[in-house]
């Protein structure tokens, strides 16, 4: 692997197996959030972990607000990583906005992906009253959200993390998410949040030709179950499974349920 891509995305290659699993984290997170999935699948699969530019251990010098103003740039990074590692026919697992990273990458180079797994993913977070689409946030809520981020990023991160995690009886989970959010450079975090919370990729869903699993669960501050149902209806080869979990990061708060859903999907299509 070239030094530039390895450094840019802090790429890690783990595990054993002929088939490859690529895990991509969501907003405010980093590759360590997949540790429970790595432990569950590394004996059977080759695993690729990476950090999106601007997050975790990625190369911050590679960040450009112009380049990373949309999801397409992150999809291009993913395809460059696949090209560098000579990956094809992989299983891509993306959380939250990374589900759309996988969708857009699969539209450009479908041969790279055998299956997509979207964990709490969404094509649009903003409600669209005209069409009746429920994304999870009104415009007024998003404006208040961005204002709070701009006012005091550290205070916002400390308050938002436990709400997003949705497991108040396990404060350590919220604290972990707060740490990864707080480790981001505030200007990058705010730009990435504005992009993530305002993109609209609903029209891309019907063009996806790769089989897709939609994993959803209840009690999520950010992405209601209606969004998972919407994606499952519009992606031609999609199926949705609802797991018992709370919050927006079930791969961290309910890893066994997520692991079972992924393993069941992969075994059924083997």
- 154 has catalytic annotation: no
Q: Which of 25, 58, 77, 220 is catalytic?
A: 220
- Using CA atoms, how far apart are residues 137 and 230, in angstroms rounded to an integer? 16
Planar angle of CA 212, 107, 2, nearest 5 degrees: 100
- 96 has catalytic annotation: yes
- 220 has catalytic annotation: yes
Q: Which of 96, 98, 121, 217 is catalytic?
A: 96
Q: Which of 25, 52, 216, 248 is catalytic?
A: 248
Q: Are 33 and 180 in contact (CB under 8 A)?
A: yes
Residues labelled as active-site residues:
96, 220, 248
């Amino acid at each position: 692997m070239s030094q530039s891509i390895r450094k840019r995305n802090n790429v890690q290659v783990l595990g054993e197996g002929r088939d490859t699993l690529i895990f991509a984290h969501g907003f405010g997170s980093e590759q360590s959030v997949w540790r429970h999935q790595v432990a569950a699948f590394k004996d059977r699969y080759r695993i690729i972990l990476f950090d999106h530019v601007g997050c975790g251990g990625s190369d911050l010098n590679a960040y450009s607000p112009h380049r990373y103003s949309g999801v397409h740039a992150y999809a291009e990074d993913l395809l460059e990583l696949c090209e560098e590692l000579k990956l094809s026919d992989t299983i891509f697992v993306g959380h939250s906005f990374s589900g759309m990273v996988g969708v857009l990458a699969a539209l450009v180079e479908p041969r790279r992906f055998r299956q997509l797994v979207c964990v709490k993913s969404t094509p649009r977070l903003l409600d669209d009253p005209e069409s009746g689409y429920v994304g999870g946030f009104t415009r007024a809520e998003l404006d208040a959200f961005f204002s709070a981020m701009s006012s005091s990023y550290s205070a916002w991160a400390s308050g938002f993390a436990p709400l997003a995690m949705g497991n108040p009886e396990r404060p350590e989970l919220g604290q972990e998410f707060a740490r990864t959010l707080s480790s981001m450079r505030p200007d990058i975090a705010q730009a990435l949040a504005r992009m993530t919370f305002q993109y609209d990729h609903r029209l891309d869903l019907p063009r996806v030709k790769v089989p897709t699993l939609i994993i959803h669960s209840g009690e999520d501050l950010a992405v209601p179950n209606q969004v998972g149902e919407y994606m499952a209806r519009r992606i031609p080869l999609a199926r949705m499974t609802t797991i018992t979990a709370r919050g927006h990061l079930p791969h961290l708060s309910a890893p066994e349920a997520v692991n079972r859903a992924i393993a069941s999907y992969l075994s059924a299509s083997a």
